[in-house]
């Protein structure tokens, strides 16, 4: 383990989270970990000095939960990707671009998100939505084993109960995961599509999308984004491309991209701006008047389809409690009040459930919002695996310190 303090050349590079609003949260020390033993040593160091401790994967947490004024466990050297018998073993410090590149060499992939610098650990532990999700489920649905260092330094290979909790409760709650094993799937030949219209068409496109995308064939994942002066339906199809009800947009189709290239082509660059975001799952179509009101706030709106394989898993089969939703609606903008207004307009029509990977410090009743009926079981597992409440933050299981 390498300890990196504020005077070290690497300190400023490693301490910075991906979200600029948490730049000012400076760790007392960074433990750069290259192995599971290093993580155990880092935890012992934090214990001996009474420092709070936080693991970081890709550093993308919207609520700044991978930033700390104590000891930051930095895992980027642990990023190896290997495959045996169709199972992918991935170091907890790997970013998604490394994961897709590494697995593609074996003709494989896993269902996961698009952001190339998003960490596999944070993404998996909170669920994992992506272009293959309606076909194969969440990233965490493919998780079959994990190595975890508990607060007292004990290393455990996740047993059934711990694995259940790691499948979607949200990162940083039970211990530090150092490696994840997934049931991989074939890296597909797929078609990427983008269908665009001027913003004036947004209301009718949203109205059509919400009736169609969550019920489309599992092979089709079509998201919708309203940004600036346009509205776009985009995604991938594992089958022949069919624009469905969207024949009148400006259609751009590519079927010559490898799977990692396709993912990359749909990913957003990391945003240098301080952006605010709130979101909720939705179970029934939004009325047209609500859509019109949402479009009046000036916020960006992102609609992600659920349904398909996501919703065929029983709610108590994994910690991820959102198996009955039609889509996820995210409100994004640089004006926090506008984002709040937009969220409030949609809220009466939403399910009250919130994606653990899009944490929202202002959400009412966060226990139910993140964990639904799985909350009590998760709380009991928290007491079993982290009885000292070492891994904590506001809205964490077991309560913040």
Ligand X SMILES: Cc1cc2nc3c(=O)[nH]c(=O)nc-3n(C[C@H](O)[C@H](O)[C@H](O)COP(=O)(O)OP(=O)(O)OC[C@H]3O[C@@H](n4cnc5c(N)ncnc54)[C@H](O)[C@@H]3O)c2cc1C
Q: Which of 91, 168, 171, 398 binds ligand X (CB under 6 A)?
A: 171
Q: Which of 36, 279, 357, 390 binds ligand X (CB under 6 A)?
A: 357
What is the Cβ-side half-sphere exposure of residue 242, based on CA atoms within 13 angstroms?
Answer: 11
Residue-by-residue DSSP string for 46-85: HHHHT--EEEESS---TT-TT--SSEEEE-TT---EEEET
Is 134 a binder of ligand X (CB under 6 A)?
no
Q: Which of 91, 102, 111, 126 binds ligand X (CB under 6 A)?
A: 126
Shortest distance, position 187 Cβ to ligand X, whole Å: 17
Is 225 a binder of ligand X (CB under 6 A)?
no
Q: Which of 90, 92, 195, 262 binds ligand X (CB under 6 A)?
A: 92
Is 123 a binder of ligand X (CB under 6 A)?
yes
Is 260 a binder of ligand X (CB under 6 A)?
no
x/- contact string, 94-113, with ligand X (CB under 6 A)? -------------------x
Judged by CB, which is closer to ligand X: 113, or 291?
113
Q: Which of 17, 9, 24, 180 is nearest to 103 (CA)?
A: 180
Judged by CB, which is closer to ligand X: 76, or 187?
76
Shortest distance, position 90 Cβ to ligand X, whole Å: 11
Q: Which of 247, 378, 248 is nearest to 319 (CA)?
A: 378
How many residues form the binding site for ligand X (CB under 6 A)? 35
Is 268 a binder of ligand X (CB under 6 A)?
yes
Residue entry with tokens 């709070």 = 52
Phi (first) and psi of residue 254, to 5 degrees: -130, 130
Q: Which of 58, 188, 260, 372 binds ligand X (CB under 6 A)?
A: 58
DSSP for residue 152: T
Is 125 a binder of ligand X (CB under 6 A)?
yes
Judged by CB, which is closer to ligand X: 174, or 291?
174
Judged by CB, which is closer to ligand X: 31, or 295?
31
Distance CA 38, CA 378 (A): 27
Residue ranges of alpha helices (H) inside 185-311 are: 202-212, 259-265, 288-295
Q: Would you say 271 and 221 are in contact if contact means Cβ atoms under 8 Å apart?
A: no
Is 177 a binder of ligand X (CB under 6 A)?
yes
Is 27 a binder of ligand X (CB under 6 A)?
no
* CB-CB neighbours of 118 under 10 Å: 24
Q: Would you say 257 and 265 are in contact if contact means Cβ atoms under 8 Å apart?
A: yes
3-state class percentages of the chain: helix first, strand second, coil last, to nearest 5:
30, 25, 45
Is 75 a binder of ligand X (CB under 6 A)?
yes
Q: Would you say 292 and 203 are in contact if contact means Cβ atoms under 8 Å apart?
A: yes
Shortest distance, position 248 Cβ to ligand X, whole Å: 28
Is 31 a binder of ligand X (CB under 6 A)?
no
Judged by CB, which is closer to ligand X: 126, or 249?
126
User: In this structure, is the dihedral angle defined by the CA atoms of residues 386, 390, 391 and 393, taken in order, positive or negative?
Assistant: positive
Task: Report the interface residues with ligand X, using CB under 6 A.
Answer: 18, 54-62, 65-66, 75, 92, 113-115, 118-119, 121-123, 125-130, 171-172, 176-177, 268, 270, 357
């Amino acid at each position: 383990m390498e300890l990196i303090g504020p005077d070290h050349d690497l300190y400023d590079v490693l301490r910075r989270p991906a979200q600029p609003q948490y730049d000012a949260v400076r760790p007392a020390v960074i433990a750069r970990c290259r192995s599971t033993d290093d993580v155990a040593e880092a935890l012992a160091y934090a214990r001996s000095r009474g420092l709070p401790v936080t693991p970081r994967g890709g550093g993308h947490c919207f609520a700044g939960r991978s930033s700390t004024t104590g000891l930051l466990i930095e895992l980027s050297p642990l990023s190896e990707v290997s495959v045996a018998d169709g199972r992918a073993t991935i170091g907890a410090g790997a970013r998604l671009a490394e994961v897709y590149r590494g697995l593609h060499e074996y003709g494989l992939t896993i269902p996961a998100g698009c952001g190339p610098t998003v960490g596999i650990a944070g993404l998996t532990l909170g669920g994992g939505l992506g272009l293959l999700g309606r076909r194969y489920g969440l990233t965490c649905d493919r998780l079959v084993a994990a190595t975890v260092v508990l607060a007292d330094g004990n290393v455990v290979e996740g047993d059934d109960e711990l694995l259940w909790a790691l499948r979607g409760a949200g990162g940083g709650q039970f211990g530090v995961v150092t490696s994840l094993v997934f049931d991989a799937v074939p890296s597909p030949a797929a078609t990427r599509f983008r269908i665009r219209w001027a913003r004036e068409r947004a209301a009718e496109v949203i109205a059509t999308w919400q009736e169609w995308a969550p019920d489309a064939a599992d092979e089709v994942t079509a998201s919708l984004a309203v940004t600036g002066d346009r509205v776009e339906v985009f995604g991938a199809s594992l089958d022949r491309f069919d624009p469905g009800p969207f024949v009148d947009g400006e259609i751009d189709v590519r079927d010559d991209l490898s799977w990692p290239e396709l993912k990359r082509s749909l990913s957003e660059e990391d945003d240098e701006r301080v952006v605010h975001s709130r979101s909720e799952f939705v179970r029934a179509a939004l009325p047209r008047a609500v859509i019109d009101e949402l479009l009046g706030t000036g916020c960006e709106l992102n609609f992600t389809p659920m349904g398909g394989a996501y919703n065929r898993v029983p709610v108590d089969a994994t910690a991820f409690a959102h198996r009955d939703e039609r889509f996820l609606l995210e409100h994004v903008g640089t004006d926090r009040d506008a984002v709040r207004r937009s969220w409030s307009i949609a809220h009466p029509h939403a399910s009250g459930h919130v994606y653990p990977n899009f944490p929202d410090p202002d959400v009412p009743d966060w226990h139910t919002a993140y964990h639904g009926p799985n909350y009590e079981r998760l709380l009991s597992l928290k007491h079993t695996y982290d009885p000292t409440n070492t891994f904590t933050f506001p809205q964490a299981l077991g309560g913040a310190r």
